[in-house]
């Protein structure tokens, strides 16, 4: 093992906002490290600004003029004397140019290297790394497709999934079930990819019908050590956006879990990855799984893994960035202490096609009690800006087994009181009464089927 060189941080700037910024501040306080918050003019009254040791306004409300402004973030880090920058999730967290700019400024980026982000950020390149690492992938195009895309699609065989090369968050993705729809779906996916990522390149994957979305949290240090934790089941999605995540998956056996973890570790080692990240897989009904992508950052749903494994993943990120070797072994990482679920509470009206509902919180009484955790930056009187993601809270529930977990989740959702804006709490309560969800028979299409059935019932009235 290489010589261990540890450089402790005295001050960390958080290049993010809202609940994830607050989440990082809390760990920094426990570690005795000063925190710097950045905020836009719209976030002046956000709780993360109040909780940080220092706060710097970096621009106007639109993300492009504040949280996505690399120069402004780097300048804020310099003038406050930050040793390191934590990117959180979203915004610039998977931007190789940002990681590079931070590093060139003589500041530590708490995450993988710019090179690793760049390699794994291009989905087609990530697939190539997976193949070299011996990890199974879904059949697909060898990299991005060109003018011969029709021939490539025929060779793979329909149905196929068209994916943006620089995609994320379900953007630039289109399922093409039949050859006759290919041209239209290509144009749609390319247009969305160009609009969201500034790059219209796409690649193809064989579409696995009725799959589960299974992901594995990983951590890797600077010394060649890597561990993988128990899987998260993120199959409960609407339009490729996750709503409910749980761990362990009710579908995954101990034997399959071990294979998932081994595959995830192989992949991050093949990529010479450093930091905390997530390897995502599609799992077929026969439990065969295929590599999908790597998220080179902290996930929204990371608390689910924290509750199951008993580790602080943000602390782990910071320790790795300081040069510390991993403090746990694979055997320790594999321990499943309990069951946990995360309900993403969004300021949206689920009765009106999940329309965002920004506004002022008139009443805020979060759930509590045994096995209940709420990660949020909300408070009574806070005005939710219309410029950003609609996520306002993450309700994380833990119990000894899944049956008790569902009962506790129902109780926690029932006592969560929010007024002034519409939220997705009522929809989460519907999910808990769904027979397939209760039985653990989820796939990525379950929520869409629930919504379609609901619409059909309404039309009969």
By annotation, the residues acting in catalysis are 297
CA atoms in the 13 A half-sphere facing the CB of 384 = 30
- Vertex 85: Cα angle to 165 and 396 (nearest 5): 75
- Longest Cα pair distance anywhere in the chain, in angstroms? 71
Residue 377: Cβ within 10 Å count:
23
Contact 376, 418 (CB under 8 A): no
Residue 386: Cβ within 10 Å count:
13
Q: Which residue has the tokens 């144009």?
A: 187
Contact 374, 386 (CB under 8 A): no
Contact 427, 383 (CB under 8 A): no
Buried b (16+ CB within 10 A) or exposed e, 404-435: ebbebbebbbeebebebbbbbbebbeebbebe
Closest CA to 23 of 310, 315, 219, 296: 315
Peptide bond into 159 cis (omega under 30): yes
Closest CA to 350 of 428, 255, 265, 235: 428
**DSSP assignment of 84-119, as one string?**
EEE--SSTTTT-HHHHHHHHHTT-EESSS-HHHHHH
Run of H or E including 213: strand 212-220
d(CA 233, CA 361): 31
Residue 53 phi/psi, 5-degree rounding, is -70, -35
Closest CA to 441 of 157, 274, 249: 249
d(CA 33, CA 23): 14
Run of H or E including 125: helix 123-132
């Amino acid at each position: 093992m290489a010589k261990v060189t540890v450089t402790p941080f005295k001050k960390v700037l958080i290049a993010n906002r809202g609940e994830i910024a607050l989440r990082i501040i809390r760990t920094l306080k426990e570690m005795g490290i000063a925190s710097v918050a950045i905020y836009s003019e719209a976030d002046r009254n956000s709780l993360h600004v109040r909780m940080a040791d220092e706060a710097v306004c970096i621009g106007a409300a639109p993300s492009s003029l504040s949280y996505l402004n690399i120069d402004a973030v780097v300048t804020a880090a310099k003038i406050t004397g930050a040793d390191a920058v934590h990117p959180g999730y979203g915004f610039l967290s998977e931007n190789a140019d940002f990681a590079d700019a931070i590093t060139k400024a003589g500041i530590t980026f708490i995450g993988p290297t710019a090179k690793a982000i760049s390699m794994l950020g291009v989905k087609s390149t990530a697939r190539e790394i997976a193949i070299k690492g011996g990890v199974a992938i879904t059949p697909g195009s060898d990299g991005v497709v060109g003018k011969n895309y029709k021939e490539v699609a025929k060779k793979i065989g329909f149905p196929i999934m068209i994916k943006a090369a620089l995609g994320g968050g379900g953007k630039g993705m289109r399922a093409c079930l039949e050859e006759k729809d290919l041209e239209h779906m290509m144009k749609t996916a390319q247009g969305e990819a160009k609009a969201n990522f500034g790059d219209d390149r796409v690649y193809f994957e064989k579409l696995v019908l009725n799959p589960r979305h299974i992901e594995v949290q990983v951590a890797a240090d600077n010394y060649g050590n890597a561990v993988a934790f128990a899987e998260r089941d993120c199959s409960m999605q609407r339009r490729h956006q996750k709503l409910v995540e749980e761990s362990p998956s009710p579908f995954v056996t101990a034997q399959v879990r071990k294979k998932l973890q081994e595959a995830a570790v192989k992949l991050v080692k093949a990529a010479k990855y450093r930091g905390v990240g997530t390897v995502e897989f599609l799992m077929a009904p026969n439990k065969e799984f295929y590599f999908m992508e790597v998220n080179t950052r902290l996930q929204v749903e990371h608390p689910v893994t924290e509750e199951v494994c008993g580790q602080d993943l943000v602390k782990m990120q910071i320790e790795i960035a300081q040069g510390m070797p991993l403090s746990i072994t694979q055997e320790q990482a594999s321990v499943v202490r309990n069951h946990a679920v995360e309900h993403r509470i969004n300021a949206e009206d689920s009765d009106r096609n999940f329309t965002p509902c920004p506004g002022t919180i008139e009443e805020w009484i979060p759930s509590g009690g045994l096995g209940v955790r709420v990660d949020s930056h909300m408070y009574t009187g806070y005005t939710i800006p219309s410029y950003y993601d609609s996520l306002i809270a993450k309700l994380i529930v833990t119990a000894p087994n899944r049956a008790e977990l569902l009962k506790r989740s129902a109780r926690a959702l029932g006592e969560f009181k929010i007024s002034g804006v519409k939220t997705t709490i009522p929809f989460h309560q519907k999910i808990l009464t769904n027979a397939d969800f209760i039985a653990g028979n989820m796939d990525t299409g379950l929520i869409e089927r629930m919504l379609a059935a609901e619409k059909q019932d309404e039309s009969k009235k």
